[in-house]
Structure 1
Amino acid sequence: MKSKASTYKELNQKSDLELFQLIKQREKGALEAVFNRYYESLCRFGIAYENDLDVVQEKVSDVFIQLWNSHDRIHEIQKPKPYLYVVVKNKLMEPVSYQKLKQTLDKGVEDEYSTSPSIEQEIIDQEQREMYVRKIQEILDQIPKKSRQIFEMSRLDELKYKEISEILGVSIKTVESHMAIALRTIRNMVVKNKQF
């Protein structure tokens, strides 16, 4: 009998297509592995279509529920990663009348047990991390929205230009142009920041 840890490790080593086939066979661990692999990047991608992170997270979660419930059609999916992105995009572009519902339900819920670092070095490290995150965010904020989306899909989500063009419904040349804009903007901001 295999331990849960070894099964988890084995599932994480499988390709997306293999995991989708296991989902077809109703293997919950395979769905969890796909979820863990793509949830964060799909949420980041979804922000380009919906500014409310709660709505994005809900829609991305719905995609995984839909994947589990439509297991009998999984054999039709040949490219799982682009498929997930396209489904998230489509879900976020659907008109929704209950977008604020989750916010209303979640209001007033606070974490009582927030902890503060007890060691000075932890505080310094946290401040440095926050400073780096702010600097990176400032640079990313200078990139035009569409170029930033394509940059994040390429660099953070590790999608190929062809996959990005299929997901967004644009030509590969358009993807290349947006990447050039993003990289030029980043380079200019880095040079500008070095001058100060």
Structure 2
Amino acid sequence: MTKTDEILLSRIKQDDYSSFNLLFFKHYASLCSFVTTIVADSTNAEDIVQDLFIKLWSDRKKIVVYKNTKHYLFRAAKNSALNFLRTEKNRKKAINRLEDADFPQETEDLTQEDFLQKLENCIDQLPERSKEVLLLSRFEKLKHKEIAERLDISIKTIKNQLWKSLKYLKSCLEVKSAF
């Protein structure tokens, strides 16, 4: 561990936020570059590194660094990036399953008009931002990047909200269709 990093880390453990900022600015750019090589997306890489530093600050009292701070940060960034890829892969599978789900077309009890009304009611129950993201994605056919720019939120947030919204809609429609 370099003397500077050792001092910064010990001060961070004593709740020194200015030392945390110094450590952040010292390593942020190189960590973002490193994570971008793993996840192949700079926006997601920035989110991952920011989350890493948030966790570092929140767990500052119990962090133990055995080699050096830089090694610790890069290892943590690599693990976070790999977890992101694993989660992203699972999220994409889930979204694809939801998009491919066979919703009732027309049955004795559920006409297309009834189904659309129930879908609209379910969409109305979503939180405002989730509803906005869903409508922009599914009805206006905007790409994640376009939605992120329009709403000034990260692509990761867009993906999370879409996944949760589609999951909710499926369960909402199944419950309403059962009655």
Q: TM-score, normalised by structure 2?
A: 0.48
Q: TM-score, normalised by structure 1?
A: 0.44
Q: Which one has the largest radius of gyration? A: 2
